């Protein structure tokens, strides 16, 4: 059977072409996030990949998430994760004053935790040494993430 010129480009335009060329790979679904949603604590949030249990989709290979939060550096990561999650939530739920107060609380905790960690172990980010007279402190080994928990430079 002869095709009209350009027909090969229209092969999937009606969605009835041969598989797999015309079949969608997935149908995306994002649960609608309610205002004043329940929240995990920061360790559970980092372990589950979301702050909100209602958005915890069943893609895990095992029912219980591994405990990835252990030690001061992991605690900072958990705080930063929760700040990102709350910030994204607040982008779409500006009237949730409870979440905003929690965001401010976690931001203060993260700032204090970072200050304490850097006082003991050195800077975590290059920008932390920008105001320092000892710029080379950042370049000294080991890097903060290579330290054993509790270790010092």
- Spatial distance between the Cα atoms of 53 and 65, rounded to a whole number of angstroms: 12
pLDDT attached to residue 105: 95
- Spatial distance between the Cα atoms of 23 and 20, rounded to a whole number of angstroms: 5
pLDDT attached to residue 37: 83
- Token code pair at residue 82: 């929760």
pLDDT attached to residue 32: 74
Task: From first to last of the 153 residues of the chain, give the pLDDT tens digit.
Answer: 455 555 455 555 555 555 556 655 666 666 677 888 889 998 888 888 888 888 887 655 545 555 555 778 888 988 999 999 999 999 999 999 999 999 999 999 999 999 988 888 777 877 766 666 666 665 666 666 676 655 554
pTM exceeding the 0.85 threshold for the entire prediction: no
pLDDT attached to residue 45: 87
Largest pairwise CA distance in the chain: 78
pLDDT attached to residue 110: 94
* Residue the block writes with tokens 């040494």: 129
Phi-psi region of 150 (alpha: psi -120 to 50; beta: other; left: phi over 0): left
- Spatial distance between the Cα atoms of 118 and 120, rounded to a whole number of angstroms: 5
Please count the helices (runs of H) and the strands (runs of E) in the chain.
3, 0
* Residue the block writes with tokens 């995306």: 28
CB 85 within 8 A of CB 33: no
Q: CA triplet 98, 101, 32: central angle to 5 degrees? A: 45
- Spatial distance between the Cα atoms of 115 and 76, rounded to a whole number of angstroms: 11
CB 80 within 8 A of CB 110: yes
């Amino acid at each position: 059977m002869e095709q009209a010129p350009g027909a090969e480009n229209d092969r999937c335009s009606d969605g009835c072409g041969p598989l797999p060329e015309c079949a969608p790979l997935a149908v995306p679904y994002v649960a609608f996030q309610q205002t004043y949603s329940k929240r995990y604590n920061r360790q559970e949030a980092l372990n589950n990949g979301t702050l909100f249990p209602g958005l915890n989709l069943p893609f895990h290979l095992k029912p219980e998430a591994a405990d990835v939060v252990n030690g001061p550096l992991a605690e900072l990561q958990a705080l930063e994760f929760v700040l990102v999650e709350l910030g994204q939530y607040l982008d779409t739920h500006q009237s949730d004053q409870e979440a905003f107060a929690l965001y401010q609380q976690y931001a203060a905790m993260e700032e204090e935790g970072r200050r304490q960690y850097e006082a003991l172990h050195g800077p975590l980010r290059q920008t932390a040494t920008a105001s320092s007279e000892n710029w080379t402190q950042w370049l000294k080994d080991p890097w903060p993430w290579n330290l054993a928990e509790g270790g010092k430079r």
